Amino acid sequence: MGSPSSPSTSSAAAAARFTGRAVTGERPLSGALTEVGLDDGRTVVVKRADAPGAARAEAAGLRWLADAGTVRVPVVHGVDGRRLVCDRVAQGPASASAAVRFGRDLAGLHAAGAPAFGAAPPGGPEEAYIGLAPMRNVTGDDWPRWYAAHRVLPYLRRAVDAGTLRAGEAADVERVCERLPELAGPAEPPARLHGDLWNGNVLWGADGHVHLIDPAAHGGHRETDLAMLRLFGCPHLDRILAGYEEAAPLAEGWAGRVAVHQLFPLLVHAVLFGRGYAEQAGSAARAALRLVG
C-alpha cells in the first residue's frame, strides 16, 4: 500500500469521513476499487459507482443480507452518491468445510425471507442494478408471473432490440415465460436473495468462512441464487449444495429447473457482453422447454 498520506483523493476522503480514522495509505485495485489503510491498522475498500443510485442499492443490499445473521458480508461504513466504503475481506484458500458451512448459511439467508418477490432491501431504491445492468425492484405475489415480467422479459427485449438475440431464440424464451406456471415447481415463499451469486462474488475468507460481496439483493425464488452459483462454477459446489440441503431441503425436481432460473442471469449477460451469452440463453430456454415436452 502507498505511503502515509492525508485524504487527498476522493476515495481516501470518503474512507476517512465514514470511519472517523486518519488514512495511512491507499492502493488502487481496479478502476472502481481502492484499498485504503487506516491509522488503527484496519483496511477498507472504497468502491466507486458511476451509475446513479448504484452505491446506495449495494449498501442497502449488504445491510439486508447482514441483518439475516447467517451469511458473512463486509461491514458497510458509509455510502454517498458515488462511493461505498466497507471492510476488506482477507482471503484464504477454498475448503470443503467452509463450503458446507456456506451452504447452511445460504439456506438461512433465504429462509430470512422478503416481503414479496421483487422487494428491495430496506432503504434500497426501486431502480437498482445487477452488475452494470439496470434492475427494477417491482413487487409481485406470484413468482412465475413476476419472474417473467420483471426478470426475463425486460432483458429479452433489450437483447432483441440490440440484435444480440435472434428471433428463434427469443421465441423460445417467450415460450418459457408462457409455460412458467408448469415449469416453476411447487410454490415457495419469497426468499432473501443475494441476487448476483456468481463465483466472483463468493470470497473464501482467511477466517475459514465464505463472505459475499456485490449483491443485487431482492426478494425472489431461492433456486435462482443456486442456479446462478452453478452457472459459472464454484469451488466445492457439491459440498455447498450438501450443506444447503441439510439445512433446507430443496423441492423435488429442482435440478431440472436450473435452466429456468439461469435465463435471468444469461439474458443480463447477453445485454452486457454480447452474442455468446445470447446463445447460452437460447440453449437454456430449449432445455427448460424439454421439461414440459
Residues paired with 211 in a beta bridge: 72, 203
Instruction: Compute φ and ψ for 48, nearest 5 degrees.
Output: -95, 130
Torsion angle (degrees, nearest 10) of CA 7, 12, 18, 20: -40
The closest alpha carbon to 93, from 197, 205, 201, 199, belongs to 205
Q: What is the DSSP string of 230-264?
A: HHS--TTHHHHHHHHHHHSPPPTTGGGGHHHHHHH
Half-sphere exposure of 195 (CA within 13 A, CB side): 33
Residues paired with 134 in a beta bridge: 129
What one-character DSSP code corresponds to residue 201? G
Catalytic (active site) residue 196: yes
The closest alpha carbon to 146, from 138, 134, 154, belongs to 138
Task: Specify the residue for cell string 447477453.
Answer: 270
CB 117 within 8 A of CB 145: no
Distance between CA 257 and CA 264 in Å, rounded? 13
Q: Which of 172, 196, 214, 225 is catalytic?
A: 196
Torsion angle (degrees, nearest 10) of CA 202, 66, 10, 272: 50
Residues paired with 84 in a beta bridge: 47, 79
Report the catalytic residues. 196
